């Protein structure tokens, strides 16, 4: 789809000039602006108040030095980021990613996506994201702690429970959130719900750990159901084997699917009998080991070196849960040729533009990340509510709310797509429904 609207084109052209070295960010913005064309055409206020020009510019970008000492006594330095993208509908909210591929483009694309995702949850959260190019792989607990303490020693002055509330993402789970929280509390002399994904003994919410993976399957299930389909008897391929992938496996299996393949950045495993998520929990959450060690638990399974080959495995449903651009046009065509009926994105922006075009041309179901993986941040929003109330809700209560939110997101995307003449296009519906709430809040708040 190419943009015709002159205003949208001028914003995008300007952005390309000013951010030529930020390919992931430009990819994310282009995808959204293409869907917004009918909305901008229909209401002149968005152009008049330059809503799009303001939306694509982060309210604030913080970049900082993160010095730390490794176990051998060497002084290391990494680069830290927090992009506070949009606070029109609530405090900035979004995860922290620790991975060697992190740079400003990656954090800006994630922060931009987060604006619309958070809006879709219906909870009052603005968009933000942060992280560092620190590589947690092979580091000791003590090194992780020293890094997290140093990272928070700068970050603390920019965040707060009503200002900006970070959480986990790739490389940031319960262990890291604990170290970050401890350092924030120490620096501020204040106990507050400044981070989500906290441990259950200090303000965390039940079901937050499971929320992104469960939410992905609740969303996919609602989508499939609306089209007379279900997970029942379906072969499912899940990429990744981290937080999102593990609980996507568990829920897809509970809903009647069979997860036959999972991966990490080194390679993938295939087990036609179905992969038990508990084995992956042991390998990844307890031992922090590689996926190929699955063969020590299930010797009949197969391991293949290299992660992108996972999309050549015939399956009915694909749940990409690893990282951005992990499904390219060629992989998408392979999935479709092998009979895949739907791709639901657990990771952020896992499909390249060519892959999305292939899904659309084939007419398969496509659940875009900002809708399909919103369950994690939605449950972070529920954690914030519990912290404010000084109460904790039961697992069932949080899980039921999460399910309701994901079903509501599917309905909102379907309705928005239909209203703007693109019935069935859930990708466009997600962008439009997410945009409208933020844009209308921005209109109400004047030029700021």
Set 108, 117, 129, 258: catalytic member: 129
- Whole-number Å distance between alpha carbons of 90 and 128: 11
Beta-strand relationship, 235-239 and 258-263: parallel
Residue 196 partner contact from ligand 2IT, ligand NDP, none using kind-dependent CB cut-offs of 5 to 8 Å:
ligand 2IT
Question: Closer to ligand 2IT at the Cβ: 95 or 257?
Answer: 95
168 counts as binding ligand NDP under rule CB under 6 A: yes
User: Residue 304 belongs to what H/E stretch?
Assistant: strand 302-305
129 is catalytic: yes
Residue 427 partner contact from ligand 2IT, ligand NDP, none using kind-dependent CB cut-offs of 5 to 8 Å:
none
Question: Closer to ligand NDP at the Cβ: 229 or 265?
Answer: 265
Write out the residues near ligand 2IT by the rule CB under 6 A. Answer: 93-95, 117, 167, 169, 196, 348, 376-377, 380
Question: How far lies 383's CA from each of 21, 272, 343, in Å?
Answer: 36, 37, 29
Residue 244 partner contact from ligand NDP, ligand 2IT, none using kind-dependent CB cut-offs of 5 to 8 Å:
ligand NDP
Residue 195 phi, psi dihedral angles, 5° rounding: -130, 155
- Whole-number Å distance between alpha carbons of 284 and 297: 13
| DSSP letters for 10-78 | HHHHHHHHHTTT-HHHHHHHHHHHHHHHHHHHH-THHHHTTHHHHHTS-SEEEEEEEEEE-TTS-EEEE
Residue 131 partner contact from ligand 2IT, ligand NDP, none using kind-dependent CB cut-offs of 5 to 8 Å:
none
394's tokens: 């039961």
Residue 430 contacts residue 368 (beta carbons within 8 Å): yes
Q: What residues have CB less than 8 Å from 446, skipping those under 6 apart?
A: none
- Whole-number Å distance between alpha carbons of 222 and 365: 12
434 counts as binding ligand NDP under rule CB under 6 A: no
Closest-by-Cβ residue to ligand NDP is: 242
Q: How far is the CB of 384 from ligand NDP (least distance, A)?
A: 14
Task: Select from 27-35, 154-162, 234-242, 415-423 the region that touches ligand NDP (CB under 6 A).
Answer: 234-242
307 counts as binding ligand NDP under rule CB under 6 A: yes
Question: Closer to ligand 2IT at the Cβ: 93 or 235?
Answer: 93
- Whole-number Å distance between alpha carbons of 178 and 198: 7
Contact with ligand NDP (CB under 6 A) among 80, 111, 171, 429: 171
Residue 137 contacts residue 170 (beta carbons within 8 Å): no
Question: Closer to ligand 2IT at the Cβ: 90 or 257?
Answer: 90
Residue 94 partner contact from ligand 2IT, ligand NDP, none using kind-dependent CB cut-offs of 5 to 8 Å:
ligand 2IT
Residue 114 burial (CB count, 10 A): 26
323 counts as binding ligand NDP under rule CB under 6 A: yes
Task: Select from 17-25, 45-53, 154-162, 264-272 the region that touches ligand NDP (CB under 6 A).
Answer: 264-272
Residue 50 burial (CB count, 10 A): 13
Residue 240 partner contact from ligand 2IT, ligand NDP, none using kind-dependent CB cut-offs of 5 to 8 Å:
ligand NDP
Under the rule (CB under 6 A), what is the footprint of ligand NDP? 99, 101, 168-171, 212, 240-245, 264-266, 307, 321-323, 346-348, 373, 376
Residues marked active site are found at: 129
């Amino acid at each position: 789809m190419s943009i015709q609207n002159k205003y949208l084109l001028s914003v995008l052209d300007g952005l390309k000039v000013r951010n030529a070295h930020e390919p992931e960010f430009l990819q994310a913005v282009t995808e959204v602006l293409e869907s917004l064309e009918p909305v901008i055409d229909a209401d002149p206020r968005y152009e008049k108040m330059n809503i799009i020009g303001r939306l694509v510019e982060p309210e604030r970008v913080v970049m900082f030095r993160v010095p730390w000492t490794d176990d051998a006594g060497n002084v290391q330095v990494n680069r830290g980021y927090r992009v506070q993208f949009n606070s029109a509908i609530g405090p900035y909210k979004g995860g922290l990613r620790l991975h060697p591929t992190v740079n400003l483009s990656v954090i800006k694309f994630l922060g931009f996506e987060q604006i619309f995702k958070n809006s879709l949850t219906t909870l009052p959260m603005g968009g933000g994201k942060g992280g560092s190019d620190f590589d947690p792989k092979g580091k000791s607990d003590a090194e992780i702690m020293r890094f997290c303490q140093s990272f928070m020693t700068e970050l603390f002055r920019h965040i707060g429970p009503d200002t900006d509330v970070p959480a986990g993402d790739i490389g940031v789970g319960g262990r890291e959130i604990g170290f970050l929280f401890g350092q924030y509390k120490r620096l501020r002399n204040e106990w507050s719900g400044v981070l989500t994904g906290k441990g259950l003994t200090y303000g965390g919410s039940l079901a937050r750990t499971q929320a992104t993976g469960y939410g992905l399957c609740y969303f996919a299930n609602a989508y499939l159901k609306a089209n007379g389909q279900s997970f029942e008897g379906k072969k499912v391929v899940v990429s990744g084997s981290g937080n999102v992938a593990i609980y996507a496996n568990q829920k897809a299996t509970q809903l009647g699917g069979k997860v036959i393949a999972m991966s990490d950045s080194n390679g993938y495993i295939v087990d036609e009998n179905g992969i038990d998520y508990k084995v992956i929990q042991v390998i990844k959450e307890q031992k922090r080991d590689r996926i190929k060690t699955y063969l020590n638990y299930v010797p009949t399974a197969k391991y293949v070196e290299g992660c992108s080959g996972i999309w050549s495995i015939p399956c009915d449903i694909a749940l990409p849960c690893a990282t951005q651009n992990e499904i390219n046009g060629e992989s998408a065509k392979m999935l479709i040729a092998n009979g895949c009926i739907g791709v639901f994105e657990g990771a952020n922006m896992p499909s390249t533009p060519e892959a999305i075009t292939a899904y659309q041309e084939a007419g398969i179901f496509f659940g875009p990340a900002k809708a399909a993986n919103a369950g994690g941040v939605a449950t972070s929003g529920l954690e914030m509510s519990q912290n404010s109330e000084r109460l904790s809700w039961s697992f069932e209560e949080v899980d039921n709310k999460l399910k309701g939110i994901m079903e509501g997101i599917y309905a909102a995307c379907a309705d928005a797509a239909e209203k703007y003449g693109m019935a069935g296009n859930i990708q466009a519906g997600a962008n439009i429904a997410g945009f409208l709430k933020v844009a209308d809040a921005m209109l109400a708040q004047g030029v700021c």
